[in-house]
Chains A and B, each alone.
Chain A
């Protein structure tokens, strides 16, 4: 037997004291007795007893469904509220249940896939047409030589084992999703051309800014220009993509002077020159101007780049062009482009000097005088 604890002694002392204070035992007062008897009679009269003396169960008494409903009513309501809240929350955040959000995310995902896929072609070209299977390696590439090309099937990237080399599909298959995407969720004009199938050709060239301020310029030190029809994309040295459109100014006369090279800003008007193509009896060159805009991923600021250059109608989209010089603001020294027989494709060759202005966040203006460089 354990010794009694101090607290037990106190409790017993308290009980003893209170019992002593209570005095004589309580006796039921006759009035209270009548009250209780009356209550008993009325209670038992309202519900007669069964054989064992118990009264018949009424709705809401123990053992009946009504009893459980009454007892657990609050818990049931609470549980229903929790379930409803969870359902609403999931439906809001789960894209498959929200058509608008699903569409928006599909557009975003498609744009990302296109950019990633576009990057693979030239990247593979730089690697003997063998593409690294690491998607991270591709997407994290921050190089002035980083080039975007259009559409390599993302499934090809996804299926490749990590680290295993993968050949680039040529020509890249069209993205099947693109058609559906265009129907259901038309995207902005800047990205629309990239939703086209691979039947539309494109071309791309690399440029280097040779202006005096180029070495210190935060943007456009070197860049890549991709053209697809009237759409144009400029990929900055850090991988930022600016998108916009290109317009041909007008046909130029063959005997008019060439705009002065050397870094002078060429106005966005019709320019004239007597180029090699004219001398050889080829169609007269045209000048184009373009305007692209986008967010620089390094500066996290909006960049608007507008410029102009030479356009050659009827040139092959896939023709390769080699340029020399251009450094220090000298002559472009253009060679004749290797034209294709397919003259129906109205792409405009971006093979000339590009002169223009890049405006960063509407405040910082940077003069661009870019010349093509050899890949």
Chain B
């Protein structure tokens, strides 16, 4: 497959491989914000702190595996795929921490022996106002994405959250653009079926049948 990477980007990557610190800074500045915005969409409960942590992990992976980037797709597309994997790992780790007691329970009634004040730990969930506004819809979409399967989730996230074109998806997934179209269509069908099941139980009016 032909290289679709622009010459300036290729040159930047080469400089990074030679260990030029300026090149790395330029690379970070070019893609850090876009990666953060993409990561933030990958879960409805990601905070900025979560996004920064995942973004840092993604760029560390880029540094370690820059030689694996063959230039068959845009660097940002490659970065998004890494970020999506890191975001998935982050979510799974957090879910495991919740199940396995990764958070230390704090008694809300216990007073500090010195100040005499009760602790007020920050909630990891969004505030009440956020949860009110389209929360069910968004949660339903996110829940459907979580159930649609890894392959479908990746192509949907890259398409709708990363705003990748069919050509970019084709280069990233190394398949024909028509195959991308048909695969995306099938994945959307699947996602729609799952979402319809979710909304029919929680809020029947949100997702009317076609």
Write the residues of chain A forming the contact surface with B, with a CB cutoff of 8 angstroms.
5-8, 10-15, 17-19, 21-23, 25-29, 32-33, 35-37, 39-41, 43-45, 49, 52-55, 61-62
Q: Which residue of A lies closest to B13 (CB)?
A: A53
List residues of chain A with CB within 8 A of the CB of B41: 14-15, 18-19, 22
Q: Are B18 and A35 in contact (CB under 8 A)?
A: no
Interface status of B192 (Cβ within 8 A of chain A) = yes
Report how far A55 CA is from B36 CA in the complex, Å.
Answer: 28
Contacts of B188 in A (CB 8 A): 5, 7-8
Are B137 and A10 closer than 8 Å at their CB atoms? Answer: yes
A6-B192, A6-B210, A14-B138 known; A40+B48 contact, CB < 8 A: no
Q: Tell me if A33 and B28 are in contact (CB < 8 A).
A: yes
Interface string of B30-72 (1 = CB under 8 A from A): 0011001100110010001001100110011001100110000
Contacts of A55 in B (CB 8 A): 17, 67
Whether the pair A53, B60 counts as a contact (CB closer than 8 A) is no
> How many B residues have CB within 8 A of the partner chain?
46
- Shortest beta-carbon distance, B146 to chain A, in Å? 13
Residues of B within 8 A of A36 (CB): 24, 28, 56, 59-60, 63
A45 to B32, CA, bound (A): 24
Does B15 have its Cβ within 8 Å of any Cβ on chain A? yes
Interface positions, chain B 132-169, Cβ under 8 Å from A, are: 134, 137-138, 141-142, 156, 160-161
Beta-carbon contact of A26 and B160 below 8 Å:
no
Can you list 6 A-B contacts with CB-CB less than 8 angstroms, sorted by A residue number?
A11-B160, A15-B161, A36-B63, A41-B21, A53-B15, A54-B67
* Separation of A19 and B16 alpha carbons in the complex (Å): 30
Interface residues of B in 49-108 (CB under 8 A from A): 51-52, 55-56, 59-60, 63-64, 67-68
> Which residue of chain B lies nearest to A7 when distances are taken between CB atoms in the complex?
B192
Q: Is B2 an interface residue (CB 8 A)?
A: no
| Nearest CB in chain B: distance from A38 CB, A | 10
Classify the secondary structure of A's interface with B.
helix
A1–B36 Cα gap in the complex (Å)? 31
Which of A13, A21, A28, A40 lies in contact with B29, CB distance below 8 A? A28
Closest to B207 in A: A6
The answer for the CA separation of A167 and B54 in the assembled complex, in Å, is: 91
Q: Is the interface of B mostly helix, strand, loop or mixed?
A: helix
* Chain B residues at the A interface, C-beta cutoff of 8 Å: 13-19, 21, 24-25, 28-29, 32-33, 36-37, 40-41, 44, 48, 51-52, 55-56, 59-60, 63-64, 67-68, 130, 134, 137-138, 141-142, 156, 160-161, 188, 191-192, 195, 207-208, 210
Residues of A within 8 A of B64 (CB): 39, 43
In the docked arrangement, what's the CA distance between A147 and B164, Å?
A: 88
From B19, B134, B191, give the contact of A40 (CB < 8 A).
B19
Task: From known contacts A15-B160, A22-B51, infer whether A53 and B18 are also in contact, taking CB-CB under 8 Å.
Answer: yes
Contact call B68/A28, Cβ cutoff below 8 A: no
Neighbouring A residues of B56 by C-beta, 8 Å = 32, 35-36
Q: Which of B19, B21, B29, B141 contacts A45 (CB 8 A)?
A: B19
Tell whether, in the assembled complex, residue A5 and residue B192 are in contact, meaning their CB atoms are under 8 Å apart.
yes
A26 to B32, CA, bound (A): 7
Give A22's nearest chain B residue, CB to CB: B40
Q: Which residues of A contact B68 (CB under 8 A)?
A: 62
- Residues in A with CB closer than 8 Å to B59 are 36
Cβ of A52: which chain B residues have Cβ within 8 Å of it? 14, 17
**A25-B33, A40-B24, A53-B18 given. 10 additional CB < 8 A pairs?**
A6-B207, A11-B160, A14-B41, A14-B141, A18-B138, A36-B56, A37-B24, A37-B25, A49-B17, A53-B16
Cβ contacts under 8 Å, A28 to chain B = 28-29, 32
